Amino acid sequence: MNDRRRKRVVVLISGRGSNLNALLHAAIDPAYPADIAGVISNKAAAKGLESAASHNVPCVVVSEDDYETREDHDDAIDETLRSMKAEFVCLAGYMRLLSPAFVKKWQGRMINIHPALLPAFKGLNTHARALASGVRIHGCTVHFVTAGMDEGPVILQAAVPVHSKDTEETLAERVLKAEHLVYPRALAMIAQGTVRMASGQTMFTGSEEIADPQIMISPGMRDKARST
């Protein structure tokens, strides 16, 4: 039988927390299938902790400075997740590599948002690299977290155009708006069970597997098509 209970989700952050905020807002709706049950930050100064507190969501700071090794730090995070009874974990601007043992424990139940259309632009400074490379379409990806950094199977992506006058800041702003749209949607999909990870791949069930038939055309191409 389908489990319609709201799933307990804990969000890991390191900073601003705008994606956390998008998830908190989505979860205000009682029909949303996930409940943000807690927030863990590895930085005491993370601004996102204020958003969590304003939604009365329990927050815990687990600083890497208090642990000798990455494994010890991740063990402490794992314990905190279990104490919060987390069923799923969302990485939302959590800017620290996770140890393979931790990733294995949560594999299939942990997702991340990355500010690029993976597999393009893994790692940091994605907007600057997108601009430097000359791509005309950029975007963001929600994916399951696996051992390889930014390598897990993709759940959802959103594309935005790159304008010729874009700076790193204007492009980042456009991508961030897309992030705030797709992250709550991707979390809803895993909480409802319409998407799951199996054999290292994303498996879709129900209508979610039917792709939107629209094709996004990068800026410039449409004008050219019109003029011919």
Catalytic residues: 114
Looking at beta carbons, which residue is closest to ligand GAR? 93
What's the closest the beta carbon of residue 221 comes to ligand GAR, in angstroms?
A: 27
The CB density around residue 164, as the number of other CB atoms within 10 Å, is 7
Q: 135 or 217: whose CB is closer to ligand GAR?
A: 135
CA-CA distance, 228 to 225, in Å (whole number)? 6
- How far is Cα 144 from Cα 107, in angstroms, rounded to an integer? 7
Cα separations in angstroms, 210 against 53, 117, 118, 156? 38, 19, 20, 12
The contact set with ligand GAR (CB under 6 A) reads 13, 15-19, 48, 92-93, 113-115, 176, 179
Side-chain-side CA neighbours of residue 79 (13 Å): 8
CB of 95 to ligand GAR, least distance (A): 6
Residue listed under structure tokens 């409940």: 35
- Shortest CB 123 distance to ligand GAR, Å: 7
Tokens describing residue 158: 């959103």
- Please say which residue, 133 or 198, places its beta carbon nearer to ligand GAR: 133
